[in-house]
Structure formats: structure tokens, C-alpha cells
Amino acid sequence: MSPVNRLQEVPTRPFHYAGARDRDLLCDRVSLARLVREYGTPLYVYSATNILGRVQLFAEAFAGMRATVCYSVKANSNLSILRLLAASGTGFDIVSGGELERVRQAAKSSLRRVVFSGVGKTAAEIDAALAARILVFNVESPAELDLLEQRARHLRKRAPVAMRVNPDVFAATHPYISTGMTTHKFGVAIGDATALYQRAAKSPYLVPTGVSVHIGSQIRVTEPFGQALQRVMEMVRELQSLHGIRIQHIDAGGGLGISYDDPAPTGKDRKDAQAFDPMAAVRGYAQHIRTALAGFDGDLLLEPGRFIIAQAGALLAQVLYTKRNGSKTFVVTDAAMNDLIRPALYQAYHSILPLRRQRNRPSAVVDVVGPVCETGDFFARDRELPALGAGDFLAILDAGAYGMSLSSNYNSRPRAAEVLVEGNRHRLIRRRETMRDLLAGERIFLNGGTE
């Protein structure tokens, strides 16, 4: 794992009020109020320093092992962020041909450190990945193995393969992002994998090089990672001793979780919040993996996404109106579920802070909602927050992962702009979409013709 500049401290969040008397919320050393004046809202803001600091945590926790972080592109696929990560030595975990092209555009030299996962790879995607000479295909079904062999034969190439095995290990997380049980669509049953390795070993176009496992996302208890890899190691030993198939790398997948309800910089905004120590989380994760892989003489691949990028990002929004319906008070913002769908999709919790802190400001219990015509369009329900009025700005924290990457144009809303901050500098890394962008691909047909 290539090192990055050592950081003395990696804060949980880069968003903070600099001191007791400072009124502005900052990202690193940049005022967020300044950013909204320059770029408008809704606006995604990311800290490059925090992103690289999280990569460094993995480098330190896995020191002495041949470990490579393959950042999960689906978490946040902005080209500038991919370039930043590639420069720090990371590889990439992709799940589509589109993500492969993003890596190519951002850092072509990193293609050899790409892991291609996903249950539905198409022939065209496989061809593109073979041409790019990626590190490995994580194969998730016998049918995919057949197609991969056919495409490799057609292109006269040899495809490196790892079976994504399903260890049937329970991970305590949201059911939509749990992936390691036999009832899930992902991977192949670990008991069926040996036969697939034997098939691959006999093919002149397939090279079995690794084993992959991924049990879910946003997992805060690290023991299941060790349990899954213990089962993987049993299979690796069997492949070597009984079938002469040497496994060169083990892909431990991603899934290490964060705390979305960590105490905010102004104090706890949720009574059951517990302080989150990212360094301790990575060290505990690494210890379970080290123990499970004791004696393995090969490379380790890690696929963190959320853990690296989530707390480095925030979504900024402006308050449009406040209103009361019966006993409920609503704070209506110009950001909506199309900008950040996690609360609507997973009932996810995100801390919310005003961009301008005022002493002795009263608080109120409110719902923070967007303008989209869905009752599910909300960011917080029954949340005690400092009183907010029309024209105020707020920051929705921990939105760096699965925020912009899951955004949409629902209600014909242009997507937000994105800004990357590093220290006291900032730069626009995605301009705000316009209605011209939204309508560019559409055609109007009238009376059999085109207008």
C-alpha cells in the first residue's frame, strides 16, 4: 500500500466551528458561507485532507502486509476525487463499465489496480475491462464465468478471476445493504466455489488468481469480517492442497461502517450519540483480518468506500420557508431527496448544523424537508435544531458517500454542484447542472415527425 503524507490527526469530520467565538462553520479552513455565496446551493463540499487521512489510516493499520486499498467507486465517483485517490496509490473497485471509464478518465495508470465486481456484467463491459488489463474479475455466478471465458477467447486474452464467495455470515446492517447471506443475489455459495475454480484452472483463457468476499455495507461490528475470512482461508488451503490451485490474493471487500450520529461540533444533537474514533475502527477491523489470514502468503485487497468519503462531505442547502401544519413545524430547504436520498431510502440519520452560529439562539423541534412532491422527501424528522428562518443556510453532514452518486433529476431538478476543499483552497469539481443539460438528450415527436 503506497503511503500518503502522514497526518498527525484525522478528525471524524472536517466540518467545524473554529473556536468558541467563531460564527461560521468551516470545512478545513474555508468558510462554508463563502462557498455558498460563490457557488450557490444545493452544494456538495468535500475535504481532500480528510479523504487522504482516511486512506492513511488503512496504510498504518495494515503496515507489514501487502495490502492495497481499492476504493469503491460507487460511493462517490467524481473524477477529481478519483484522481486524488489514485495519486495516493489506491486502486479501485468498480461495478460497471461506466465506472471503468471514469477510472480511465481520472487516472489511466490505475487501470491495472481495478477490481471488477457486480452480478450483471455485460459482454461489452467485460470486453472493455479485458482491453484495459484490469487486475481481476470478481466472478459472481457460473453463467458469468462462462461469458468471461467466451469473451476472453474471442479477444484472445487471458482473464484473471476471483470467485466472490458467499460465506453465509450475518452482518448487522440495513437489510438493503447486507450481501453475505445465501438469500442474497451476490456471489456464489462457498461450497460451490471449488468446482468453479477447477473449471477456471482447466481453461486456457482463465487464470484463477484470487478469492473475494463481501458481506455488506455500513457494518460497525468488526467480528463478522474475521469470521468470513476464516471461512475463505479454509477454502484457500483446500484449493492449494487438494487441487493445486494457488491463490495469490484475497479480496476482503468493503463494508466498514461509520457513525452518522456522532456528536456534532456544537455538542450532541442526538441523545444516544457516541464519539466515533476512525483510527480505532480501522485498527479493530485490521486486527480481525490479520488474525483470520495468519499464514497467508499473498496480497490483500480492501474495498472501502463509505469509510473513506462519507464524513469528508456535506450537502449545503438554503432555507426557503418555515411552516406549521398542526403540531408539526417544517423547515423547507432548496435541497431535496433527489440530492440526498439516504434518509428517504434507508431512514438514515444525518447531523445538521447551521452555517452561521448565533449565541443564545433558541431551538425548536422540526422536520427538515425538501420541495419534492413526496412525503418521503425529508432530511430529518422531529429533530431539535437551532431555530432556522428563510434565507438561513445549513449543512447536512456525512453526505460524501452515496449522496451525489445516488442523486437524480426527479421533479426535473438539476443536480447540485460539487466543490473540493484542501486547507484554505477550494475548487469547483462539478458545475451545477442546467435545464439545458436535462433536456439535451430528449426529442419531441409530433404528427410522426420531429419538431
Residues acting as catalytic residues:
373
Closest CA to 430 of 156, 45, 122, 71: 45
| Grid cell in block for residue 380 | 430529518
As a whole number of angstroms, the distance between CA 376 and CA 160 comes to: 44
Contact by Cβ (8 Å): 14, 344: no
Sequence-distant (≥ 6) Cβ neighbours of residue 372 within 8 angstroms: 336, 337, 338, 410, 411, 413
Enumerate the β-bridge partners of residue 92.
Answer: 71, 114
Extract the runs of DSSP E, i.e. beta strands, from 86-203.
91-94, 114-116, 136-139, 159-166, 188-189
Angle between helices 79-87 and 97-106 (to 10 degrees): 60
Q: CB–CB of 196/280 below 8 Å? A: no
Cα angle for residues 15, 17, 22 (degrees, 5° grid): 150
Torsion of CA 94, 100, 101, 107, to 10 degrees: 90
**Is there a contact between 319 and 237 (Cβ–Cβ < 8 Å)?**
no
Give the dihedral of Cα atoms 397, 308, 48, 9; nearest 10 deg.
90
Residue 90 carries which side chain, given as an amino acid letter? T
Q: Among residues 440, 444, 442, 395, which one has the least CA distance to residue 421?
A: 395
Closest by Cα among 205, 218, 151 to 179:
218
Q: What is the Cα–Cα distance from 241 to 236, expressed in whole angstroms?
A: 9
